[in-house]
Amino acid sequence: MEKKRLYILLFVITLLIVIGYSVASKSTKIPNIEGMDYSLWKSDLYGCNSDRENLINLIISNKEKFLRFNQNQMIYILGKPENQTLYSRGQTFFYYYIKYHPSCGEKNALSDSEQIKLEIRFDALNRSKDIYVYNL
């Protein structure tokens, strides 16, 4: 009987987590930026189609609109990052590549330090705090 209660409790906890995640991601208000096509951004993995290159200036000029989101909300808005790093003091960095990534083929591929990429930094409380674009 005790095992059955434990299974029911685990099921209820799992169900609450799934519902909470679903509600949090659907309630995310995507920043309304004229000309920004989020589906085009998400589909341009590693910037291979050069669509992100055309959209990055909209993010840069409206970066304050992206600074209030947590990691799950940012994934909902911009898609899964191509790379992420866990840094000191619980910080996390998301990387979205804009251009010159080796995954796009050898033509025009650059080293990691020379690639154009968007970096979003999250603090230990999971809040986006800074946005940088490298090598633009």
**CATH code where residue 39 lies:** 3.30.1450
Other CB atoms within 10 A of residue 104 CB: 17
Would you say residue 70 lies in a domain?
Answer: yes
Domain range for 112: 31-134
- Does residue 22 fall inside a structural domain? no
Classify residue 2: in a domain, yes or no: no
Please give the residue that has the higher pLDDT: either 82 or 7.
82
- Domain contains 8: no
In a domain? residue 77 = yes
Question: Of how many residues is the chain composed?
Answer: 136
Q: How many CB atoms lie within 10 A of CB 13?
A: 10
Stated pTM of the model = 0.76
In a domain, 114, yes or no: yes
Q: How many domains does the chain have?
A: 1
In a domain, 14, yes or no: no
Q: Is residue 5, in this structure, part of any structural domain at all?
A: no
| Per-residue pLDDT tens over the stretch 32-59 | 999 999 999 999 999 988 899 999 999 9
When pLDDT is cut at 50, 70 and 90, the band that residue 23 belongs to is low
Structure tokens at 101: 């990534």
**Rounded to a whole number, what is the distance in angstroms from the first to the last CA of the chain?**
63
**119 pLDDT above the threshold of 80:** yes
Per-chain mean pLDDT for the chain: 87
Q: What average pLDDT score do residues 93-104 get? A: 89
Spatial distance between the Cα atoms of 90 and 68, rounded to a whole number of angstroms: 17
